[in-house]
Amino acid sequence: MKEIEEPFEEEQIGSSAMAYKRNPMREERICGLARFVMSLESSAAQTVATQWFERTLDDSANRRLTLPQAFLAIDAILTLYQNIASGLVVYPRVIAQHLDAELPFMASENILMAAVAGGGDRQELHERIRRHSLAAAAVVKQQGGRNDLLDRLRQDPAFAGSDFHSAIDPARFVGRAPEQVDEFLSEIVAPLRAKYAGALAGEVDVKV
Protein backbone atom coordinates (compact mmCIF):
# COMPACT_ATOMS: atom_id res chain seq x y z
CA MET A 1 0.00 0.00 0.00
CA LYS A 2 3.02 2.28 0.58
CA GLU A 3 1.12 4.33 3.18
CA ILE A 4 3.42 3.60 6.09
CA GLU A 5 6.75 1.87 6.58
CA GLU A 6 9.43 1.18 9.13
CA PRO A 7 12.74 3.10 9.12
CA PHE A 8 15.02 2.30 6.20
CA GLU A 9 18.73 3.05 6.36
CA GLU A 10 20.55 4.79 3.51
CA GLU A 11 22.82 1.81 2.84
CA GLN A 12 20.26 -0.86 3.74
CA ILE A 13 19.64 -3.61 1.18
CA GLY A 14 15.95 -4.45 1.03
CA SER A 15 16.36 -7.60 -1.03
CA SER A 16 19.39 -9.40 -2.45
CA ALA A 17 17.36 -10.40 -5.51
CA MET A 18 15.17 -7.36 -6.25
CA ALA A 19 17.01 -4.10 -5.71
CA TYR A 20 13.88 -1.92 -5.54
CA LYS A 21 12.38 -3.72 -2.55
CA ARG A 22 12.29 -2.30 0.97
CA ASN A 23 11.54 -5.43 2.96
CA PRO A 24 10.44 -4.62 6.54
CA MET A 25 13.39 -6.39 8.14
CA ARG A 26 12.70 -5.17 11.66
CA GLU A 27 9.08 -6.26 11.56
CA GLU A 28 10.07 -9.60 10.05
CA ARG A 29 12.45 -10.13 12.95
CA ILE A 30 9.70 -9.28 15.43
CA CYS A 31 7.41 -11.80 13.74
CA GLY A 32 10.04 -14.55 13.88
CA LEU A 33 10.95 -13.86 17.51
CA ALA A 34 7.29 -13.70 18.56
CA ARG A 35 6.67 -17.04 16.89
CA PHE A 36 9.60 -18.50 18.84
CA VAL A 37 8.31 -17.14 22.16
CA MET A 38 4.84 -18.54 21.50
CA SER A 39 6.33 -21.96 20.78
CA LEU A 40 7.90 -22.04 24.25
CA GLU A 41 4.45 -22.20 25.84
CA SER A 42 3.92 -25.79 24.69
CA SER A 43 7.20 -26.88 26.27
CA ALA A 44 6.27 -25.33 29.60
CA ALA A 45 2.76 -26.81 29.44
CA GLN A 46 4.08 -30.30 28.79
CA THR A 47 6.49 -29.97 31.70
CA VAL A 48 3.71 -28.93 34.08
CA ALA A 49 1.44 -31.72 32.80
CA THR A 50 3.98 -34.48 33.44
CA GLN A 51 5.83 -33.55 36.64
CA TRP A 52 3.47 -31.27 38.64
CA PHE A 53 6.12 -28.77 39.81
CA GLU A 54 7.99 -31.44 41.79
CA ARG A 55 11.26 -29.61 41.12
CA THR A 56 12.84 -32.63 39.50
CA LEU A 57 15.54 -32.32 36.85
CA ASP A 58 13.09 -32.53 33.96
CA ASP A 59 11.52 -29.39 35.43
CA SER A 60 14.68 -27.40 36.15
CA ALA A 61 16.39 -28.38 32.89
CA ASN A 62 13.41 -27.08 30.95
CA ARG A 63 13.20 -23.89 33.02
CA ARG A 64 16.86 -23.09 32.44
CA LEU A 65 16.12 -23.02 28.72
CA THR A 66 12.61 -21.62 28.33
CA LEU A 67 12.66 -18.80 30.92
CA PRO A 68 15.85 -16.99 29.87
CA GLN A 69 15.19 -17.56 26.17
CA ALA A 70 11.68 -16.15 26.49
CA PHE A 71 12.84 -13.01 28.31
CA LEU A 72 15.77 -12.44 25.96
CA ALA A 73 13.57 -12.85 22.89
CA ILE A 74 10.90 -10.51 24.26
CA ASP A 75 13.56 -7.95 25.13
CA ALA A 76 14.76 -8.10 21.53
CA ILE A 77 11.18 -7.68 20.29
CA LEU A 78 10.68 -4.59 22.44
CA THR A 79 14.00 -3.13 21.29
CA LEU A 80 13.01 -3.59 17.65
CA TYR A 81 9.52 -2.21 18.32
CA GLN A 82 10.91 0.90 19.98
CA ASN A 83 13.22 1.44 17.03
CA ILE A 84 10.34 1.12 14.57
CA ALA A 85 7.97 3.35 16.54
CA SER A 86 10.55 6.12 16.94
CA GLY A 87 11.35 6.20 13.23
CA LEU A 88 8.02 5.32 11.63
CA VAL A 89 7.49 6.90 8.21
CA VAL A 90 3.99 7.94 7.06
CA TYR A 91 3.09 9.09 3.54
CA PRO A 92 -0.03 11.33 3.77
CA ARG A 93 -0.26 11.90 0.01
CA VAL A 94 -0.46 8.17 -0.68
CA ILE A 95 -3.18 7.85 1.96
CA ALA A 96 -5.06 10.75 0.34
CA GLN A 97 -4.76 9.04 -3.04
CA HIS A 98 -6.25 5.82 -1.66
CA LEU A 99 -9.06 7.77 0.00
CA ASP A 100 -9.79 9.50 -3.29
CA ALA A 101 -10.07 6.10 -4.96
CA GLU A 102 -12.34 4.41 -2.41
CA LEU A 103 -14.14 7.08 -0.38
CA PRO A 104 -16.77 7.90 -3.05
CA PHE A 105 -18.12 4.34 -2.78
CA MET A 106 -18.08 4.46 1.02
CA ALA A 107 -19.82 7.85 0.99
CA SER A 108 -22.62 6.74 -1.31
CA GLU A 109 -24.93 6.03 1.66
CA ASN A 110 -24.31 9.50 3.09
CA ILE A 111 -25.05 11.01 -0.31
CA LEU A 112 -28.23 8.95 -0.54
CA MET A 113 -29.47 10.02 2.89
CA ALA A 114 -28.70 13.67 2.20
CA ALA A 115 -30.64 13.52 -1.07
CA VAL A 116 -33.58 11.82 0.66
CA ALA A 117 -33.54 14.51 3.35
CA GLY A 118 -33.74 17.03 0.53
CA GLY A 119 -37.03 15.52 -0.63
CA GLY A 120 -35.92 12.81 -3.06
CA ASP A 121 -37.46 9.35 -3.39
CA ARG A 122 -35.22 6.84 -1.63
CA GLN A 123 -35.81 3.89 -3.95
CA GLU A 124 -35.27 5.97 -7.08
CA LEU A 125 -32.12 7.59 -5.66
CA HIS A 126 -30.80 4.22 -4.51
CA GLU A 127 -31.20 2.80 -8.00
CA ARG A 128 -29.46 5.79 -9.57
CA ILE A 129 -26.50 5.47 -7.17
CA ARG A 130 -26.37 1.73 -7.86
CA ARG A 131 -26.14 2.24 -11.62
CA HIS A 132 -23.58 5.04 -11.31
CA SER A 133 -21.51 2.98 -8.86
CA LEU A 134 -21.41 -0.02 -11.17
CA ALA A 135 -20.38 2.18 -14.08
CA ALA A 136 -17.66 3.89 -12.04
CA ALA A 137 -16.40 0.53 -10.78
CA ALA A 138 -16.21 -0.72 -14.35
CA VAL A 139 -13.99 2.23 -15.30
CA VAL A 140 -11.68 1.44 -12.40
CA LYS A 141 -11.56 -2.33 -12.92
CA GLN A 142 -11.72 -2.66 -16.69
CA GLN A 143 -9.92 0.48 -17.86
CA GLY A 144 -7.65 1.20 -14.91
CA GLY A 145 -9.18 4.67 -14.70
CA ARG A 146 -9.91 6.88 -11.69
CA ASN A 147 -13.06 6.57 -9.64
CA ASP A 148 -15.46 9.04 -11.27
CA LEU A 149 -18.54 8.22 -9.20
CA LEU A 150 -18.80 11.72 -7.75
CA ASP A 151 -18.59 13.27 -11.21
CA ARG A 152 -21.44 11.04 -12.38
CA LEU A 153 -23.59 11.92 -9.37
CA ARG A 154 -22.92 15.65 -9.74
CA GLN A 155 -24.14 15.47 -13.34
CA ASP A 156 -27.31 13.62 -12.32
CA PRO A 157 -30.20 16.12 -11.83
CA ALA A 158 -31.61 13.97 -9.00
CA PHE A 159 -28.64 14.97 -6.84
CA ALA A 160 -28.51 18.63 -7.87
CA GLY A 161 -29.01 19.91 -4.32
CA SER A 162 -26.66 17.47 -2.59
CA ASP A 163 -23.70 18.68 -0.55
CA PHE A 164 -21.00 16.37 -1.90
CA HIS A 165 -18.18 18.14 -0.10
CA SER A 166 -19.69 17.40 3.29
CA ALA A 167 -20.73 13.87 2.35
CA ILE A 168 -17.19 12.78 1.44
CA ASP A 169 -15.42 14.44 4.37
CA PRO A 170 -13.10 11.68 5.69
CA ALA A 171 -13.66 12.92 9.25
CA ARG A 172 -17.22 11.61 9.05
CA PHE A 173 -16.01 8.02 8.71
CA VAL A 174 -13.60 7.66 11.63
CA GLY A 175 -16.13 7.57 14.46
CA ARG A 176 -14.52 8.07 17.86
CA ALA A 177 -11.07 7.02 16.65
CA PRO A 178 -9.41 10.41 17.43
CA GLU A 179 -10.87 10.48 20.95
CA GLN A 180 -9.96 6.83 21.53
CA VAL A 181 -6.37 7.49 20.48
CA ASP A 182 -6.13 10.49 22.81
CA GLU A 183 -7.61 8.47 25.69
CA PHE A 184 -5.24 5.56 25.08
CA LEU A 185 -2.21 7.84 24.95
CA SER A 186 -3.15 9.78 28.08
CA GLU A 187 -4.55 6.97 30.22
CA ILE A 188 -2.41 3.99 29.18
CA VAL A 189 0.73 5.08 27.35
CA ALA A 190 1.68 8.20 29.32
CA PRO A 191 1.68 6.49 32.76
CA LEU A 192 3.78 3.62 31.40
CA ARG A 193 6.26 5.99 29.78
CA ALA A 194 6.56 7.91 33.04
CA LYS A 195 7.07 4.70 35.00
CA TYR A 196 9.81 3.45 32.70
CA ALA A 197 11.30 6.80 31.70
CA GLY A 198 14.80 5.60 32.50
CA ALA A 199 14.54 2.61 30.18
CA LEU A 200 13.21 4.81 27.37
CA ALA A 201 15.83 7.53 27.72
CA GLY A 202 18.64 5.86 25.79
CA GLU A 203 18.84 5.38 22.05
CA VAL A 204 18.03 1.96 20.63
CA ASP A 205 20.77 0.53 18.46
CA VAL A 206 19.50 -1.92 15.85
CA LYS A 207 21.74 -3.34 13.14
CA VAL A 208 20.12 -4.16 9.83
Q: What is the mean pLDDT of each run of 10 residues along the chain (208 residues)?
A: 90 85 92 98 89 80 93 95 92 94 93 91 96 97 95 94 86 94 98 90 77
Long-range contacts, stretch 175-179, CB < 8 angstroms, 24+ apart:
none
Distance separating alpha carbons of residues 54 and 154, to the nearest angstrom: 76
Model's pTM, two decimal places?
0.76
CB contact set of 6 (below 8 Å; sequence gap of 6+): 24, 25, 26, 27, 84, 87, 88, 89
Distance separating alpha carbons of residues 46 and 12, to the nearest angstrom: 42
3-class DSSP assignment, residue 201:
helix
Based on its alpha-carbon atoms, the radius of gyration of the chain, rounded to whole angstroms, reads: 27
Q: What is the pLDDT, as a whole number, of residue 79?
A: 92
The top-level CATH class assigned to 93-173 is mainly alpha
Q: What is the pLDDT, as a whole number, of residue 207?
A: 77
Q: What is the pLDDT, as a whole number, of residue 168?
A: 87
Q: What is the pLDDT, as a whole number, of residue 166?
A: 86
How far is the first Cα of the chain from the last one, in angstroms, to the nearest whole number? Answer: 23
Q: How many CA atoms, within 13 angstroms, populate the side-chain half-sphere of residue 23?
A: 12
> Which contiguous run of DSSP H or E holds residue 90?
strand 89-90
